[in-house]
């Protein structure tokens, strides 16, 4: 299984942010579909194989997940989550 890395996450974020409403999307899912919630793409999970996609997503913008709300839009609100995502993409050099 392929490991979900920060680079993959950044590339998929750029695709997700081009969607009509990116706050109902999940960058790690094949069609950015949060309804499938991690069931479609066979990414490696926690443990020896690497970090989970959710942890990479949250740490990318500097937010630690809580048990009931994993997605940045749920924790921060839509405007703040998208703003922090663009700032993180820029700061990490993914917009060049």
- Output the pLDDT for position 77: 87
The predicted-structure confidence for 42-92, as pLDDT tens digits, reads as follows 565 544 455 677 778 888 998 876 655 678 888 888 899 899 999 999 999
Q: Alpha-carbon distance 51 to 16, whole Å?
A: 21
Least Cα distance to 62 among 26, 95, 38, 87 occurs for 87
Q: What is the pTM of this model?
A: 0.79
Whether pLDDT at 31 is above 60: yes
- Output the pLDDT for position 86: 94
Q: Which of 8-12, 30-34, 53-57, 58-62 has the highest mean pLDDT?
A: 8-12
Q: Alpha-carbon distance 89 to 84, whole Å?
A: 9
- Output the pLDDT for position 92: 95
- Output the pLDDT for position 10: 95
The answer to whether the beta carbons of residues 54 and 65 sit under 8 Å apart is yes
- Output the pLDDT for position 1: 66
15 to 32, 49, 52: CA distances (angstroms): 8, 25, 20
The pair of three-digit structure tokens given for residue 44, joined into one six-digit string:
């490696």
């Amino acid at each position: 299984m392929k490991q979900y890395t920060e680079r993959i996450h950044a590339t998929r974020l750029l695709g997700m942010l081009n969607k009509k409403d990116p706050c109902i999307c999940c960058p790690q899912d094949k069609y950015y579909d949060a309804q499938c919630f991690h069931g479609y793409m066979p990414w490696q999970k926690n443990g020896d194989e690497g970090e989970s996609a959710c942890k990479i997503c949250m740490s990318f913008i500097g937010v630690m997940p809580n048990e009931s709300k994993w997605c940045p839009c749920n924790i921060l609100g839509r405007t703040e989550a998208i703003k922090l995502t663009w700032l993180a993409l820029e700061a990490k050099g993914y917009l060049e």
